[in-house]
Amino acid sequence: MSFRTKMIAGIALIQALFLFAILMSSLAVLARSRDQALKIRAVSDARLFATAAANALVSEDMGALQRLVRQVVRNRGVVYAAAWDGDGRLLAQAGAGAGRPHTFRAVTSVAVDGTSYGKVEVLLRHRGFGRVLAAARRRIVAIALGELLLVGLVSWLFGRYLMRRIGAIEAGTARIARGEFGFQLPTEGDDELARMIAGFNAMSVQLQALQDEAARRHHEVLTLNERLEERVHERTEALAVANRELEYLAMHDPLTGLPNRILLQDRLLQAIRAASRQPASFALMIMDLDGFKDVNDSMGHEAGDRLLQETAKRLTGQLRQSDTAVRLGGDEFAILLPTVARDIDAGAIARKLLRALEEPMVLGDQTVRVTASVGAVLFPAHGDDVSTLLRRADRAMYEAKRERHGFLVFAPVMEEEGDDRVRLQADLEHAIRHGELVLHYQPKVDLVTGKTSGAEALVRWNHPTLGMLPPARFVPLAERTRLIEPLSLYVLRTAAVQARAWADAGRPLPIAVNISAINLGDGEFVGHVERILTDAGVSPDLIELEVTETALMRDPECAEAVIRALSNLGVRVSIDDFGTGYSSMAYLRKLTVARIKIDKSFVMDMGVNRNDGVIVRSIIDLGHSLGLKVVGEGVETADAMAVLASLGCDYAQGYHLARPMDAEAFDAWRQANP
């Protein structure tokens, strides 16, 4: 039996039991009860409507909201339903109950977590209730007084049934308003209220499912955040390890493992401070191998590197734990003796070292004997600062080499350079002024395309009496005598002219030119570069300047300003010999450089030295993370080139591709290797 049928049957039974006069007032009371019940239902329906409409209003799903309004109007007694947003705009409506008599209006705000998103309205109306009352009045006199008890009983049972259902729905609405989902209200029978409760239960289950899905998505987001944090931590640790390795390399020579010049200067400064606090003396020696170039030229760089490694091993084997052996670069070493106070003691140690080096060395299938020249100074007799001690020890070493003494202690007469060095300096100045230096070019190859991507200009000096001299013979002299500035500008000018010639011939190719730390410190250097490019009529993107990492770190602020100015001109700047200096990632990010060149000592040994391979990989990853191209120099084998390519290196340069050659030979090589 439907809810409507139950209501009509109850009212008819009440009318049959009461006397006309008494039942008329009872009917009025019943009518008011009906009105109250409809009002309660209207409020309940409005709350259910507001709960169901919350998701549609929050997500602004107008289609779902309109369907929900139409569904509400289909409920028994509902003649009109509508929904407004928070600004009072009507979003959806159904039915036409406005202005009809016997209607009951209920308006409820739609709020989620205390925030109002709009309101809903429901109108309920009596249907046919007036006709029922009229019929009851006509039959009232026929109703017996004896039925009064039955009317009371039936009314009580009916009210209990109705209020129990309405109370259950109201309690469920309140639970949903508190955010409780997934519960089930008890259902009895198959009338409209039972079906409404069933729909309410389905809505509760759906809301619980939505809440569970939101919780699951939230958990997934938290999990992804945890994984991301783990990956960031792992990457940070890897970068920290790489940075520690780079910091170690900044203070040590990668080939021999000995401390380098930077660490020597630091220890010299500490020794000076300690000796100044408690008056004491110490000795510093500089050693240069004799004939090392001959070994490199005749047996190859690999044999030369093994010779340097064995030399370092023998030096450290003869020294005490408190002494420090240092590789300054090339075949030059330094030894700091903090407890040696006399010339005679320094001489005894130097002779012991020279005897250890004279023992035959086996390099591949050949045996060589190594000799060396050693110069020494004592603190404070020969100087009281780092630069003076290093300079005078170096001069003593050159005098020992020139006079073939093996070992010499600095003497004031050595303050003036030997005749040969003075003559070489004068000859170099003349050669720069009269254009007697020549440039050789070594190609750089793109490891992806295999095409020639550029060339490095390497200066050579065809000395009238000494023959063709490599840069190692005169560039250090130029740096010590300030000839490096005109020498660098000469090389840059010649390279710019050659770049213009290749461009005019339809074969443009960028040319890289090396500059020194002294050039970076020259306040007019950028202006010189601009004038050279203008005079040569060459595009700035065809010129690339290479500066060593060590030179950059001598005066980082000055270097940064000069590099920025060069970049503004359109000239690319690259960091040469990367991995041998001391530069942090934070500093590199400030430099507007285009490339970094991995020092050849790492590339040449990465096939046999696992640590060098790790360093090469780290430098490539570091360069790419900073948006820089990476060049591997010192590529002397096909295996080394293949390893660089597999690690993602961008360019390669070395003897495996081609040795440095003059412009004519370079043109021929380029035609044969397009």
Q: How confident is the model at residue 172 (pLDDT cuts 50, 70, 90)?
A: confident
pLDDT score, position 442: 96
Q: Phi and psi (nearest 5°) for 515? A: -125, 160
Most confident of 234-238, 314-318, 546-550: 314-318
pLDDT, average across residues 516-525: 86
Residues 652 and 567 occupy one common structural domain: yes
pLDDT, average across residues 91-118: 79
pLDDT score, position 59: 80
Question: Can you say how many angstroms the Cα of residue 103 is from the centroid of all Cα atoms in its chain?
Answer: 68
Least confident of 183-187, 351-355, 461-465, 642-646: 183-187
Any domain includes 634: yes
Residues 585 and 644 occupy one common structural domain: yes
pLDDT, average across residues 102-122: 83
Q: What is the CATH number of the domain that holds 347?
A: 3.30.70.270
Any domain includes 82: yes
Is the pLDDT at 337 greater than 90? The verdict is: yes
Provide the token pair at 453: 């991507």
Is the pLDDT at 4 greater than 50? The verdict is: no
Q: How confident is the model at residue 512 (pLDDT cuts 50, 70, 90)?
A: very high
Is the pLDDT at 24 greater than 80? The verdict is: no
Taking the C-alpha atoms of residue 510 and residue 500, their distance in angstroms, rounded to an integer, is 10
End-to-end CA distance of the chain: 97
Residues 503 and 540 occupy one common structural domain: yes
Which is more confidently placed, 457 or 191? 457
Quick one: what percent of the chain has pLDDT higher than 90? 32
Convert the pLDDT of each residue in 605-619 to its tens digit. 787 778 888 889 999
Residues 600 and 521 occupy one common structural domain: yes
Average pLDDT of every residue of the chain: 83
Number of domains forming the structure of the chain: 3
pLDDT score, position 417: 54
CB atoms within 10 A of CB 642: 14
Least confident of 24-28, 105-109, 245-249: 24-28
Taking the C-alpha atoms of residue 357 and residue 331, their distance in angstroms, rounded to an integer, is 13
Residues 346 and 449 occupy one common structural domain: no
Contacts of 8 (CB under 8 A, 6+ apart): 132
Where do we find the tokens 């049957």? 9
Residues 411 and 443 occupy one common structural domain: no
CA dihedral 232, 234, 240, 244 (to 10 degrees): -160
What residue ranges in 259-322 does DSSP mark as E strands? 282-290
Taking the C-alpha atoms of residue 380 and residue 216, their distance in angstroms, rounded to an integer, is 76
- Tell me which of 416, 449, 471 is where a domain ends: 416
- Tell me which of 359, 386, 416 is where a domain ends: 416
Is the pLDDT at 490 greater than 50? The verdict is: yes
Convert the pLDDT of each residue in 467-489 to its tens digit. 888 888 888 788 777 788 999 99
Residues 626 and 641 occupy one common structural domain: yes
Provide the token pair at 313: 């091993």
Is the pLDDT at 543 greater than 80? The verdict is: yes
pLDDT score, position 30: 60
pLDDT score, position 667: 94
Cβ pair 12, 136 in contact under 8 A: yes
Any domain includes 488: yes
Residues 313 and 348 occupy one common structural domain: yes
Helix intervals (H) in 104-191: 129-139, 148-177
pLDDT, average across residues 387-391: 91
Is the pLDDT at 118 greater than 70? The verdict is: yes
pLDDT score, position 584: 59
Residues 400 and 497 occupy one common structural domain: no
Q: How many helices (H) and strands (E) does the chain have?
A: 23, 20
pLDDT score, position 146: 59
- Tell me which of 394, 416, 438 is where a domain ends: 416
pLDDT score, position 3: 47
Taking the C-alpha atoms of residue 618 and residue 239, their distance in angstroms, rounded to an integer, is 8
Most confident of 191-195, 459-463, 590-594: 459-463
Any domain includes 151: yes
Taking the C-alpha atoms of residue 81 and residue 122, their distance in angstroms, rounded to an integer, is 5
Where do we find the tokens 């958990």? 219
Provide the token pair at 332: 């030059």
Residue 496: C-alpha distances to residues 417, 513, 575, 637 (Å): 35, 10, 20, 31
Is the pLDDT at 148 greater than 70? The verdict is: no
Q: H/E element holding 473?
A: helix 471-480
Any domain includes 224: no
By residue range, what is the domain housing residue 121? 3-180
Residues 67 and 10 occupy one common structural domain: yes
Any domain includes 185: no
pLDDT score, position 496: 96
Taking the C-alpha atoms of residue 455 and residue 666, their distance in angstroms, rounded to an integer, is 9
Any domain includes 194: no
Taking the C-alpha atoms of residue 579 and residue 585, their distance in angstroms, rounded to an integer, is 12
Residues 436 and 409 occupy one common structural domain: no
pLDDT score, position 68: 87
Within 13 Å of residue 491, how many CA atoms lie on the same side as its CB? 26
Is the pLDDT at 86 greater than 50? The verdict is: yes
Is the pLDDT at 297 greater than 80? The verdict is: no
Within 13 Å of residue 72, how many CA atoms lie on the same side as its CB? 32
Q: How confident is the model at residue 140 (pLDDT cuts 50, 70, 90)?
A: low
Sign of CA dihedral 274, 276, 280, 281: positive
| Integer Rg of the chain from CA | 48
Q: Phi and psi (nearest 5°) for 103? A: -110, 155
Question: Can you say how many angstroms the Cα of residue 391 is from the centroid of all Cα atoms in its chain?
Answer: 43
Q: How confident is the model at residue 25 (pLDDT cuts 50, 70, 90)?
A: low
Is the pLDDT at 282 greater than 50? The verdict is: yes
Any domain includes 438: yes
pLDDT, average across residues 21-38: 66
Residues 452 and 474 occupy one common structural domain: yes
| Max Cα distance, the chain (Å) | 151
Burial grade of 477 (CB within 10 A; 0-12, 13-18, 19 or more):
middle
Provide the token pair at 498: 């050659």
Cis status, amide bond into 380, omega within 30 of 0: yes
Q: What is the CATH number of the domain that holds 488?
A: 3.20.20.450
Taking the C-alpha atoms of residue 488 and residue 400, their distance in angstroms, rounded to an integer, is 30
